[in-house]
Amino acid sequence: MKNPPSDTHAPFHILLGQASRLVRGLQKASRSDAAELRDQARLLVHTLDTTYPEHSSLQQILALVRSIADSDDSAFNALRRQAQDLLRERQDSGTTPTRLHTASTSTRDVDAWILDMFRSTESAIPREVLVDEFVQRYRRERRIADNAKHLGPWLFVFETVTEQGRVTGIRPLVGAGLHPTAFQDRCREFLPGWAEDPFLPHVLQEQRDIELWYALLFNGSPLFDNLIDTRRNLHGEPNYWVNAVSLPGDSRHETRAVFTLYRNTSDPLFPEPAPGMKQDMRLLTVLALAWRQLEHQVRALARISEADRRDMINLIAPGLLHHEIGFNMRTAYGQAYEQFHLLKRIAHETGNEDIELATRYAHGIAGLVLNLYRITDAFNNLDKRGQVEASNLNRIFSDLRLLLHHRLGDAHTELVWDQAGFEAQSLRSDVVLLSQALINLINNALNALIEGNILPPRCIRTYLEQTDEQKIVLCLINNGPGIPSHEVRDIFRRGYTTRTQGHGQGLYLARLVSHYLGGDLTLMEQSALPEGFHVGFRLTFNRKLSAEYGVARAND
């Protein structure tokens, strides 16, 4: 639990938000948290007393915060019950605002809308048309009127202005829910300060999405506060919610961002997302994925116009799956580590060896969940990743052998490389994606060795064919059965497989990643293979990832 900021000039509604979060924290806290809560309460009370002595409008909450500040451990349980009663009273009383009318957003309607976007991308329409059609349908489905009396939701579209690859300004494109003249006037007044805005640089410059952010916790946005006229609230608080997605640009297009805003329809101190916001985020996620598919910067993807509906869904489904299960994976990761720390304490206190073993299992499960999330996130965000880290080839292959230890053992296969030589090959790259491409190649070799009934010794060997300051050329060879000549042209095609249980994705994804990493993946010529080896792949990638290749970006 983080301490509230000690800035004595913080706006009053921010301090009240801190007070409400402290009360919520007390609800779920254990006795070991009492001292930390007490310190937070004392700091908050001091700030309120010295800066806003005349604003104690929520006396019950502030009185409870003062009680926490003056309490000792013996009063902890009574204070927790008081917090629970106080929250119940506010929910049952008239202090909760009446919910505003919002247009219905059934799951069935949203699913139909998503399917229509899939169909639009099949026809390879211009990306600008895709956004225009989305805006028009959003106006229609959410019954948005462009007048001063509209109560939300609102939809805004902005675009970057760049000079020599650097964002120098923001241009307004669409202001659904606001009179066009008012939209342009307010943008003209407040967009010059876009770099200090808590939302605009996050989406348009850093190209990150926003999902269910409550504006009050960020002290609002001068632009959005004025666009939706927060003066209608009690004291002008930024009492609204924000969703947004980035639509990345390329050499021909500027980056765009689509924002949807909803007024908060619940208690400002205990806010809940407005109805329809989660469905809106689903729509925005698909819009962003469709935008990327229409002009994808990874050269290995086939032209969208040649894909049928099933292929399009296969392309976009990983992103949707990552969005839908991402929260659950993060929750599972957190709970597994909570279990790990609990078991670790019990094992330390009891000395029980079985509990010590369970502790290690809990730690391992947490690591697997985290790795699963990193992989799905990596493939879902190919065109906005910048996860560059320093490593060397020996460390990468050592980690791979540990990860594939059981499968290599079951297949009676040895993974061999020159450890000293690989240790000397340093690189700065997207190690998560590079490792996943190598895993696909190794698994492909293992499948061939097992299903080809190759007698031991079975070997997968990797060696350096060429290196310089820019490129690394890595060969991965195995002594499995050769690839028939009539299959050579198809082995990298997405969906192609000769295995009964295969999916035809491994080599396709490995080549896709190689292009992202600034190189290529090719099948080695028979004449280039050492004696005793029948299949090999040549993986080329850039030693230092940069924007020059594909969509990769260095964090230099």
Q: Where does residue 519 fall: left (phi above 0), alpha (psi -120 to 50 degrees), or beta otherwise? A: beta
Roughly what angle, to the nearest 10 degrees, separates helices 309-350 and 277-294? 120
Question: What CA–CA distances, in Å, run from 500 to 68, 183, 304, 372?
Answer: 65, 58, 28, 25
Mean pLDDT rounded to a whole number for the chain: 77
For tokens 């909450």, name the residue. 61
Is the pLDDT confidence value at 167 over 80? Answer: yes
Beta-bridge partners for 259: 156, 244
For tokens 């491994």, name the residue. 506
Instruction: Give me the DSSP letters along 297-362.
Output: S-TTSPPGGG--HHHHHHHHHHHHHHHHHHHHHHHHHHHHHHHHHHHHHHHHHH--HHHHHHHHHH
Residue 86 — pLDDT band, cuts 50, 70, 90?
Answer: low
Beta-bridge partners for 392: 426
* Percent of the chain with pLDDT strictly greater than 90: 29
- DSSP code of residue 550: T
What is the average pLDDT across 290-304?
52
- For residues 198-213, one letter each, b for 16 or more C-beta atoms within 10 angstroms of the residue's C-beta and e for the rest, the string is bbbebbbbebebbbeb
Residue 512 — pLDDT band, cuts 50, 70, 90?
Answer: confident
Is the pLDDT confidence value at 91 over 90? Answer: no
Beta-bridge partners for 477: 461, 536
Task: State which H helix or E strand residue 522 sits in.
Answer: strand 520-523
Pick from 270, 175, 159, 277: nearest CA to 229: 175
Distance of CA 210 to the CA centre of its chain: 9
What is the average pLDDT across 498-522?
78
Instruction: Judge residue 484's burial from the number of C-beta atoms within 10 Å of its C-beta, 0-12 exposed, 13-18 middle, 19 or more buried.
Output: exposed
What is the average pLDDT across 199-222?
90
Q: Which residues contact 268 (CB under 8 A, 6 or more apart)?
A: 13, 97, 216, 233, 234, 237, 239
CB 209, CB 226: distance < 8 Å: no
Give the per-residue pLDDT at 523.
92
Give the per-residue pLDDT at 438.
93
Question: What CA–CA distances, in Å, run from 458 to 409, 448, 449, 450, 477?
Answer: 11, 11, 7, 9, 11
What is the average pLDDT across 541-549?
69
Give the per-residue pLDDT at 515.
82
Beta-bridge partners for 258: 157, 245
Is the pLDDT confidence value at 312 over 60? Answer: no
- DSSP code of residue 383: G
- For residues 247-283, one letter each, b for 16 or more C-beta atoms within 10 angstroms of the residue's C-beta and e for the rest, the string is bbbeeebbbbbbbbbbbbbebbbbbebbbbbebbbbb
Instruction: Give me the DSSP letters along 23-90.
Output: HHHHHH--GGGHHHHHHHHHHHHHHHHHH-TT----HHHHHHHHHHHH--GGGHHHHHHHHHHHHHHH
Beta-bridge partners for 435: none
CB 259, CB 155: distance < 8 Å: yes
Torsion from C-alpha of 65, 66, 72, 75, nearest 10 degrees: -60
**Higher pLDDT pick, 363 / 501:** 363
CB 437, CB 521: distance < 8 Å: yes
Give the per-residue pLDDT at 537.
96
Model pTM greater than 0.85? no
Tell me phi and psi for residue 351, to 5 degrees: 70, 15
Q: Which of 10-19, 351-360, 543-552 is the least confident region?
A: 543-552
In 111-254, DSSP assigns E strands to 154-163, 166-176, 210-214, 240-247
Residue 134 — pLDDT band, cuts 50, 70, 90?
Answer: very high
Pick from 10, 2, 4, 6: nearest CA to 220: 10
What is the average pLDDT across 219-233?
84
Is the pLDDT confidence value at 44 over 70? Answer: yes
Which of 248-262, 414-428, 481-495 tops mean pLDDT?
A: 414-428
Pick from 348, 282, 289, 342: nearest CA to 120: 289
Is the pLDDT confidence value at 184 over 50? Answer: yes
Residues in the chain: 556
**N- to C-terminal Cα separation, the chain:** 32
pLDDT tens by residue, 458-480: 999 999 999 998 899 999 999 99
What is the average pLDDT across 181-192?
94
Give the per-residue pLDDT at 9.
54
Tell me phi and psi for residue 255, to 5 degrees: -70, 135
pLDDT tens by residue, 268-289: 777 888 878 888 999 999 899 8
Give the per-residue pLDDT at 354.
77
* Percent of the chain with pLDDT strictly greater than 70: 71
Roughly what angle, to the nearest 10 degrees, separates helices 12-28 and 34-51? 160
One-letter amino acid of 126:
P
Helices (H) then strands (E): counts for the chain: 17, 12
In the three-class reduction of DSSP (H, G, I as helix; E, B as strand; rest coil), residue 243 is classed as strand
In the three-class reduction of DSSP (H, G, I as helix; E, B as strand; rest coil), residue 174 is classed as strand
Residue 1 — pLDDT band, cuts 50, 70, 90?
Answer: very low
Pick from 302, 336, 287, 243: nearest CA to 136: 287
CB 517, CB 449: distance < 8 Å: no
- For residues 342-376, one letter each, b for 16 or more C-beta atoms within 10 angstroms of the residue's C-beta and e for the rest, the string is ebbeebeeeeeeebeebbeebbebbeebbeebebb
Q: Which residues contact 78 (CB under 8 A, 6 or more apart)?
A: none
**Higher pLDDT pick, 314 / 145:** 145
Which of 140-149, 364-373, 396-405, 529-538 tops mean pLDDT?
A: 529-538
Q: Where does residue 276 fall: left (phi above 0), alpha (psi -120 to 50 degrees), or beta otherwise? A: left
Residue 305 — pLDDT band, cuts 50, 70, 90?
Answer: very low
Residues 134, 284: Cα–Cα separation, whole Å: 9
pLDDT tens by residue, 357-415: 777 767 667 666 666 666 666 655 554 455 678 999 999 998 888 777 778 888 899 99
pLDDT tens by residue, 7-32: 445 565 566 667 777 777 777 777 77
Give the per-residue pLDDT at 264.
87
